[in-house]
Structure 1
Amino acid sequence: MKGDKQADFAYQAVYRYMINLINEVGTEARVKLPSLRHLAERLNVSISTIQYAYSLLEKEGRVYSVAKSGYYALPIASNTPCCTAGDLLERLYVGARRPGMLVLSADEPAQLLSLDAPLLQLERELVRQYPRQLQPYSQPCGIWELRAALAARYTHSPTRCWQADDVYIGADLRGVLAILIEVLALRGAAVLVESPCDWLVLRLLQDAGVRMIEWPCNEQGRLDLGYLQQQLRTEGVQLAVLSSTPGIGTGAALSLADQAQVARLLEHAGCWVLENDIHGGLEFEAGTRYLRDLVNPDRLMVFSSFEKVMGPEAPYGYLLSRHLSTQLQRQFLLRAFRLSSIRQRAIARLHHNGRFDQHLEQLRDLLKGHADAMHVRLEQHLGGRLTYRRPQAGATYWLRSTEAVDMRRVFQNMLARQVVIAPGELFSVSGLYQQHFRLSHVASTHHSLDLVLEELAQALKQGQHG
């Protein structure tokens, strides 16, 4: 593969190889796939190229990872009964890749409108323009053009500004966060995490031995500032992992005044802030203020990815940090992410020529329209069984049952109906949100969504305690 003149696309060949390998598995038991290192040696490519291909497969639900064990595939025939044993997240992944399933558990805004086609078209033009790699994998933190484009995008004033050297680009969000956890030496440290929180972030922190302190939403779906103040005062919190617009995941984002109060509390506690900007730019209303505009810029780092906005052809994760440059550069160099320089240039061009902003505006309008349509359906079919706040951004609803239910049973009953939902406990490490679940409002489907929601109402009724 290294001799292929289209070496930038080696991960695509690895991806096709892995698809064939998975399809050859002739058992219904879970099957451990070759390690990153073994596959890299077998296919004569870098480990990061293998990791990139695996991350795409994991997003598609074809493989799943187990901490300190590796990657697994579980081919399931369409008539195989639903799995009822094992880790809940594993069961969700397995269910999501069964043939004919309606996956309403995912958070994939770009499913409505991706930039895959413009990205690949621009990439082909750049391949003709640059027949040879001008910078063949010599920039372990990403190519300068894309780093500069991101630095410019996040700069809003002379005091809240970023340079290209402050930006680090990795193969995917998982790889970038793993490096950050290593550099910050978070094992055993007290880290405050906004809750509910994405399960990728939770599991990475959990596997790293981080002492997570959850800042949960209350019964009204709002974040309690008094609870935050108490935890900062008593728990010796070193780092806070918060969304760029705190509370956006529950549909009840903090007001600007509350965000300012959060910034003051964090500054008074001397706490570092790691802002999760994965959904940045996907707010339905213009003029949203982000946490990074209010907190002390000297104690701020930001992470995000392109995938939520652009689609699966842009899976790169990135980090912005003015600090720890020597340690971060060393870790990115050791990881040796072998990223496509052509694809990075194509993403940078989309930022420079305004196509990215145009796409973002169109995507926001589509997301709002789908969220409004789902609200009407929820009120029609589940109005008495659920409480929720209409989302202010993104592709999902955060829902709570009005009756005490066994949400795992609801989850399993919906699997039997070929529908996948995400139980709320997946978004907590301390058993919170047993009565909640996440539901996508953008899933493309041949199913009748009205019928699916009626089945969900029935599953909630069957899942009631007592």
Structure 2
Amino acid sequence: MSSKYMKIMEEIKLRLADGSLIAGSKLPSVRQLSEHFSCSKNTVIKAYEELEKEHLIYSVPKSGYFVVNEFQNAKNENEVIDFLSAGPDKNVMPYLEFQHCINQAIEQYKEALFTYSDQQGLYSLRVQLVKYLENLQVFTQPERVVVVSGSQQALNLLVSMPFLNGKNNILIEQPTYFGFIESINLHQATTFGIELSMEGIDLDRLEYIFRNNDIKFFYIIPRFHNPLGHSYTNSEKKKIVELAEKYDVYIVEDDFLGDLDPNAKSDPLFSFDPSGRVIYIKSFSKIFLPGLRIATVVLPTLMINNFLRYKFSSDFNSSALSQGALEIYLKSGMFNSHLKKIKEVYRTKMQILQEACELLLPANTHCTKPPSGFYLSICLPKNVTAKQLVHMLNEQHIYVDDASRMFLPEYKKENLLRLSISQVNESQIKLGVERLAHCIALIDSRKSHIIPSDSFMGKFI
């Protein structure tokens, strides 16, 4: 039976690939295929069930089977080396497991998932989120948790709303997540920067800014920073919270990759916060399913009503279907199993990337060395701009990110490149770095022939 049902699947996939079956096409009946392939109806049903699991076809009771959408032929996939995409690795996304959770949520909650729901988020989900956050050393109560439509929504709301300290200005690390820079630009918020390297920030400089610049909140990515990959030590985090308390500054902690931390003793800033000074944001987009559009925010009790008012004007409430399915996924223990798997996947990829960079990049090129996470940044020779390199690599189907958009104008660097390991195939990492190194050397040598060597010798970053 096995070989027959696989032959049926191959035949249908061929017809999808050559375009003879398109979106909405009705497939032959079970009886027709069983006669055509001289097999039992059970064999055909088995083939159709497997194609349904791959989301290529779907069944309509009493009507038959139909094509979901155009078949995406992946024959050129191996020609692309993707250091640009920052979503989760497609090979470890738990599609089928979560599909079961969606079905179960619909069965369990029925019409409750398709009407207006609690603006703060399903209470039963918030209970599960509190249990999940305990594993990250974030101890809170469901009443302080708000479910939002992705961390970007939370950040945008926090930029726009007034804070209890009555201050107006925002402080950010430089560089930082470009989505947050977009929000502050759209709201025309007065923003200060503080330089960040793999050695951290200057805490004396931080205190000076807190004391003199009317800072409403400090936006910080404490673990596996985007784009550098930097993580703060516990002592640094404790000091930052103490300074925020001293100068009445709030901290917005974006811990989007905290689950990947291999250091069990590493704590979030929230754990050093005795007074509600730290607003903690945890997204599920990078470690789980981006399309779920679910994140959680832990807020000081006195800020919740105002935050919900601003959220109401944005989307009223986040998707109840996503919330119900996530609740079941967390409660079942599936999420913990998923985390174990992805922690090893990303740690291994990051190790391979770092080894390739150390081995292959030119001596005047420097890279950051995060233990895990998604991001590693490369500081290029001053003769080489990230924009030049991105263009040259694109022509070879190698995709990397120019990090210049992650800076405020006064801090902008044109020679910082961000590499993401989340969606690149393990087997392609070394080849991608080889080609990257070759392009850096090529651009650098061309510039060397134009500019006299004594004008730039020894000035590489």
* Normalised TM-score (structure 1): 0.71
**SS of 1:307's equivalent?**
coil
Deviating more after overlay: 186-195 vs 311-320: 186-195
**SS of 1:229's equivalent?**
helix
Structure 1 spans left out of the alignment, 5+ residues: 1-97
Q: CA deviation at 1:198?
A: 0.9
Name which of 126, 129, 132 aligns with 1:147: 126
Name which of 176, 182, 199 aligns with 1:203: 182
**SS of 2:335's equivalent?**
helix
In structure 2, distance between residues paired with 1:400 and 1:136? 50
2:255 corresponds in structure 1 to 277
Matched, 1:438 2:430: no
User: 5 Å matches for 1:234-249?
Assistant: 234-245=212-223
Name which of 321, 326, 339 aligns with 2:299: 321
In structure 1, distance between residues paired with 2:315 and 2:183? 20
2:362, 2:437 within 8 Å by CA — same for their partners in 1?
no
2:43 corresponds in structure 1 to none
1:303, 1:320 within 8 Å by CA — same for their partners in 2?
yes
In structure 2, distance between residues paired with 1:248 and 1:189? 25
1:175 corresponds in structure 2 to 153
Name which of 390, 393, 398 aligns with 2:377: 398
2:284 corresponds in structure 1 to 306
Name which of 399, 407, 411 aligns with 2:386: 407
* Amino acid in the other structure paired with 2:422: V
Q: CA deviation at 1:207?
A: 1.3
* Amino acid in the other structure paired with 1:290: P
1:455 corresponds in structure 2 to 435
* Normalised TM-score (structure 2): 0.71
2:67 corresponds in structure 1 to none
Structure 2 spans left out of the alignment, 5+ residues: 1-76, 452-461
In structure 2, distance between residues paired with 1:284 and 1:301? 23
Change in 2 beyond 3 A, CA 1:254/1:331:
closer
User: 5 Å matches for 1:237-386?
Assistant: 237-245=215-223, 250-322=228-300, 323-337=302-316, 339-382=318-361, 384-386=363-365
Q: CA deviation at 1:278?
A: 1.2
1:145, 1:348 within 8 Å by CA — same for their partners in 2?
yes
Deviations 1:232-284 (A, max 9, x none): 23322221111243868534422222222222222221111111111121113
Change in 2 beyond 3 A, CA 1:182/1:319:
same
In structure 2, distance between residues paired with 1:235 and 1:127? 50
Q: CA deviation at 1:386?
A: 2.6
1:187, 1:211 within 8 Å by CA — same for their partners in 2?
no
Q: CA deviation at 1:180?
A: 2.4
1:243, 1:275 within 8 Å by CA — same for their partners in 2?
yes
Q: CA deviation at 1:197?
A: 1.0
**SS of 2:119's equivalent?**
coil
Change in 2 beyond 3 A, CA 1:110/1:146:
farther
In structure 1, distance between residues paired with 2:127 and 2:177? 28
Change in 2 beyond 3 A, CA 1:332/1:358:
same
Deviations 1:65-123 (A, max 9, x none): xxxxxxxxxxxxxxxxxxxxxxxxxxxxxxxxx99754312323444522332111111
In structure 2, distance between residues paired with 1:296 and 1:401? 42
In structure 2, distance between residues paired with 1:254 and 1:175? 25
* CA RMSD across the alignment: 3.1
Q: CA deviation at 1:325?
A: 2.1
In structure 2, distance between residues paired with 1:115 and 1:193? 34
Q: CA deviation at 1:413?
A: 1.2
Change in 2 beyond 3 A, CA 1:268/1:340:
closer
Change in 2 beyond 3 A, CA 1:404/1:342:
same
In structure 1, distance between residues paired with 2:259 and 2:426? 29
In structure 2, distance between residues paired with 1:170 and 1:417? 39
**SS of 1:238's equivalent?**
strand
* Amino acid in the other structure paired with 1:341: A
Matched, 1:429 2:408: yes
Change in 2 beyond 3 A, CA 1:135/1:196:
same
1:17 corresponds in structure 2 to none
1:166 corresponds in structure 2 to 144
**SS of 2:251's equivalent?**
strand
* Amino acid in the other structure paired with 2:370: P
Q: CA deviation at 1:378?
A: 1.7
**SS of 1:361's equivalent?**
helix
Name which of 367, 373, 388 aligns with 2:367: 388
1:370, 1:441 within 8 Å by CA — same for their partners in 2?
yes
1:400, 1:436 within 8 Å by CA — same for their partners in 2?
yes
In structure 2, distance between residues paired with 1:188 and 1:411? 40
In structure 2, distance between residues paired with 1:156 and 1:369? 22
Deviations 1:12-69 (A, max 9, x none): xxxxxxxxxxxxxxxxxxxxxxxxxxxxxxxxxxxxxxxxxxxxxxxxxxxxxxxxxx
2:400, 2:419 within 8 Å by CA — same for their partners in 1?
yes
In structure 1, distance between residues paired with 2:254 and 2:281? 6
**If you compute each CA radius of gyration, which structure gives the higher value, 1 or 2?**
2
- Percentage of matched positions with identical amino acids: 15
Q: CA deviation at 1:424?
A: 2.2
